Amino acid sequence: MRTKKVLAAVAIALACVGAHAQQTSGAPDGEVVKAAVAALAPRPEWKNVTIDRRESNALSLTIHYKVFPSEGLATSEADTEALVVAVAQGLAKAGHSPAKENRMIFVSATRDVLGVTGEKRVQFLGMAIYRPDQDGVSFKPTL
């Protein structure tokens, strides 16, 4: 199962890098994020992806699910990690170096649910984090 997720994340990231082959420098983060999301071919269970924070040293996104992911936390882990990798590689292709620029990239996974009293609330499923000190990605489940 882990190998399957890693292969899927690599395939998605490579597709994103191909989408940025024509851009050589200075693409704004928003354009890189849009291209990364488009390259991922969002799942039908995704409601949308939002940019929550965009600063010189941090970029924070959220994948909002309509329903609980089909394979549970494994799906949200694979999706968030793939988006982090796609964005990091897109930034690199656009002439940035997330590792050298010490830029953190966060991608959270959430879904809207009803509480026991019927009140709407947000359920956090987990977060993938690009760590510039390691030039790598990790996932932290929060469910």
Q: Give 89-113 pLDDT, tens digit per residue.
A: 999 999 999 999 999 999 999 999 9
- Cα separation, 59 vs 102, in Å, equals 11
Average pLDDT of span 53-61: 91
Matching residue, tokens 């964005």: 87
45, 125 contact by CB (below 8 A) = no
pLDDT confidence band for 8 (50 / 70 / 90): very low
How confident is the prediction for the chain on average, in pLDDT? 82
All structural domains of the chain with their residue ranges: 2-141
Per DSSP, the three-state class of 99 is coil
Alpha-carbon separation of residue 51 from 12, 41, 58, 60, 134 (angstroms): 19, 17, 11, 6, 23
Examine the pLDDT at 26 and tell me if it is beyond 70.
Answer: no
Q: Give 118-142 pLDDT, tens digit per residue.
A: 999 999 999 999 999 999 999 999 8
138, 106 contact by CB (below 8 A) = no
Examine the pLDDT at 19 and tell me if it is beyond 60.
Answer: no
Specify the pTM: 0.77
